[in-house]
């Protein structure tokens, strides 16, 4: 019990003290974990068992919430064309995830996951190559589920 509380406090401190770039990477990582969890629920015939549907939908809904948080974090005034393109991508991802919740289309989910992974990699490079600014606390972001 004490270990769990210590780990939770450690994780919360990491989120509260992370730079904005690091927070974005953390959001992507959690979205990827959630999509991986949903993909793992498919049976060998690439179908979902009835007992897995609730977990599957919960994982995808959490992914949508994370993507919405990424959308909210965009600065449309200063971000210019990049922010507009990211907004369009995030909107596309959320629409596709909504459809995937209904259709249980594994191929489409894997495709969205691949695109999100590529964006995560791009953000990781950008953050690593950008000098760190002050690490502002962003208490509104909850990637813990």
pLDDT at 141: 55
CB atoms within 10 A of CB 39: 15
Whole-model pTM: value is: 0.77
pLDDT at 20: 86
pLDDT at 11: 46
- Domain residue spans of the chain: 19-129
Structure tokens at 114: 């691949």
Flag residues of the chain having pLDDT under 50: 6-15, 133-139
pLDDT at 131: 74
Dihedral angle sign, alpha carbons of residues 26, 121, 95, 74? positive
DSSP designation for 44? T
pLDDT at 19: 82
C-alpha to C-alpha distance for 45 and 11, rounded to whole angstroms: 37
pLDDT at 118: 97
Third-level CATH fold of 19-129? 1.20.120
pLDDT at 136: 44
pLDDT at 16: 52
pLDDT at 25: 95
pLDDT at 71: 96
């Amino acid at each position: 019990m004490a270990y769990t509380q210590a780990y939770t406090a450690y994780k919360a401190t990491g989120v509260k003290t992370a730079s904005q770039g690091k927070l974005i990477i953390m959001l992507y990582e959690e979205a990827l974990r959630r999509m991986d969890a949903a993909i793992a629920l498919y049976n060998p015939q690439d179908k979902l068992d009835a007992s897995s549907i609730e977990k599957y939908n919960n994982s995808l809904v959490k992914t949508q919430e994370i993507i919405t948080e990424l959308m909210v974090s965009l600065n449309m005034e200063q971000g210019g064309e990049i922010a507009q393109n990211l907004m369009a991508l995030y909107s596309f991802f959320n629409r596709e995830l909504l459809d995937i919740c209904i259709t249980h289309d594994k191929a489409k989910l894997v495709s969205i996951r691949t695109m999100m992974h590529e964006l995560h990699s791009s953000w990781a490079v950008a953050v690593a190559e950008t000098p760190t600014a002050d690490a502002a606390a962003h208490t509104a972001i909850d990637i813990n589920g």
